[in-house]
Amino acid sequence: MSSSSPPRAVGWWLLLVAFAVLIQVGLGGITRLTDSGLSITEWKPLLGVIPPLDEAGWAEAFAKYQQIPQYVQLKSHLTPDEFRFIYFWEWFHRLWGRLLGVVFGVPFLIFWKRGQISGLGRQLLVLFALGGLQGALGWFMVVSGLQQLVYVSHLRLAAHLMLALFLLCALVWTGLGVLRPRPSAQATPALRKLTWALVGLLALQLTWGAFLAGLKAVLMAPSWPDINGLWLPNALWSELPWQHWQSVHFIHRTLGYLLLVGFIAWWWASRRALGLERHLVLGLGLLQVVLGILTLIYATHGDGLLWFGLAHQLVGSALVASLVGGAHELRPAAALTPG
């Protein structure tokens, strides 16, 4: 590493932020699976860090929630204590997002003042801007459920998740670029194309997974391998592929099967280029398929949807980050920049 290159501490810091983003994705999953996302009906970037501190404050927050369609149509049975439970998860999800800004911003200023981010300034500013955009997009998503819908728009939910995963992967790519400025793997152009094709296919799969979650479609067809007895739903031919729950189910499952075959082929094709990375990707891919099936089967059994659904979302996020990490190791030798 040249004297002007960022120190390894910068790389580890970025990977730490990436891990914090992964935790945030998990918190977002808990918020969604517990129907907590609409419990806070206002966006206060600064004052929102303080939850209600007395009975009057809780009563006011509950009264605001009671005005939205979700409460009127679905949650009118909610007790004050139950409201506090869902409020906590949405508040903690937002608080973690604010803490992410601190975890990124404070070390950035320290490294910048020490002159240790040479060549990374623009990338890091873009990453910081993406984090801020993610917060704004989260509120844009919440707004969709405050007027007419009883849940947030599944399209906005998917956009919120995919931006978070893009940020996660960008942090991993940039962090690895500092820690491994030169690729050690010898990869063919065909292997690189296959890797990025899998990244693109996995992004589609995760997008349709978000559609599935936003439409509450798992609860509509908690069966596998068929979809409530159907193999080719009629909605495939009559509805937009991202609108009807049957179409979303079929596409999400089909992409999962294709990805499983793709991961096995990639694992074999990369046997001479990668070590631990290829085993990690295949292992996470296999686990993701199993968790997806278990999520379907146990969706209506106690807390099955919560625990299996959360694990499914976290493993999917770790999978795409791991695959991007493999792509980073397989990049051409001329690609020496961290970003």
DSSP labels, 125-169? HHHHHHHHHHHHHHHHHHHTTTTT-SS--HHHHHHHHHHHHHHHH
Contact predicate 111/117, CB 8 Å: yes
Sign of CA dihedral 328, 333, 338, 339: negative
pLDDT, position 339: 40
pLDDT, position 337: 45
For residue 99, what are its two tokens? Answer: 């803490």
Distance between CA 289 and CA 104 in Å, rounded? 33
pLDDT, position 2: 43
Per-residue model confidence as pLDDT tens for the chain (339 residues) = 444 678 899 999 999 999 999 999 999 999 999 999 999 999 988 878 999 999 999 999 999 999 999 999 999 999 999 999 999 999 999 999 999 999 999 999 999 999 898 889 899 999 999 999 999 999 999 999 998 899 999 999 999 999 999 999 999 999 999 998 887 667 889 999 999 999 999 999 999 999 999 999 999 999 999 999 889 998 888 889 999 999 999 999 999 999 999 999 999 999 998 889 999 999 999 999 999 999 999 999 989 999 999 999 999 999 999 999 999 999 887 544 444
Sign of CA dihedral 160, 162, 126, 90: positive
Contact predicate 192/327, CB 8 Å: yes
Instruction: Find, among 178, 18, 165, 23, the residue nearest to 111 by Cα.
Output: 178
Cα 148 from chain centroid (whole Å): 26
Distance between CA 241 and CA 107 in Å, rounded? 43
For residue 172, what are its two tokens? Answer: 């991993």
Strand partners, 230: 227
